Structure 1
Amino acid sequence: KDITAVVCAGNTAMGHFLLGLPTKYIRRYPYVATSVEPPPLRAAEVGIEINPRGLLYSLPGISAWVGSDITAGILATEIHESGEISMLIDIGTNGETVVGNKDWLIATSASAGPALEGASVACGMRAEPGAIEKVRIVDGKVEYETIGGIEPKGLCGSGIIDVIGALLRAGWINRSGNLLEGKSERIQENDGVKCFIIAEARSSSIDNPVYITEADIENVITAKAAIFAAMRIILKRLDLKFSDLSKLYVAGAFGNYIDVENAIAIGLLPNIERDKIKFVGNTSIRGAKLAAFYLEAFQKIRDIRRATTYYDLLGADDYVEEFRKALFLPHTDIEEFMQAG
Structure 2
Amino acid sequence: MHVPDGFIDAPTSAVTAVVAAGALAVSLRGARRELDEKTAPLAGLVAAFIFAVQMLNFPVAAGTSGHLLGGALAAILVGPFTGVLCVSVVLLMQGILFADGGLTALGVNITDMAVVTTVVSYALFRGLLAVLPRSRRSVTAASFVAALLSVPAAAVAFTLIYAIGGTTDVAIGKVATAMIGVHVLIGIGEAVITALTVGAVIAVRPDLVHGARGLRQELKLRVNGELVDAPAAPAPAPAPAAARTSHRTLWITGLAASLVLAGFVSFYASANPDGLEKVAHDHGIDKKTGDHASADSPLADYGVKDVSDARLSGGLAGVIGVGVTVVAGSAVFWALRRRRTQEVSPAGTDL
- Whose helix proportion is higher, 1 or 2? 2
TM-score by length of 2: 0.23
TM-score (ref. length: structure 1): 0.23
Greater relative contact order (Cα 8 A, min sep 6): structure 1 or 2?
2
Give the strand-richer structure, 1 or 2.
1
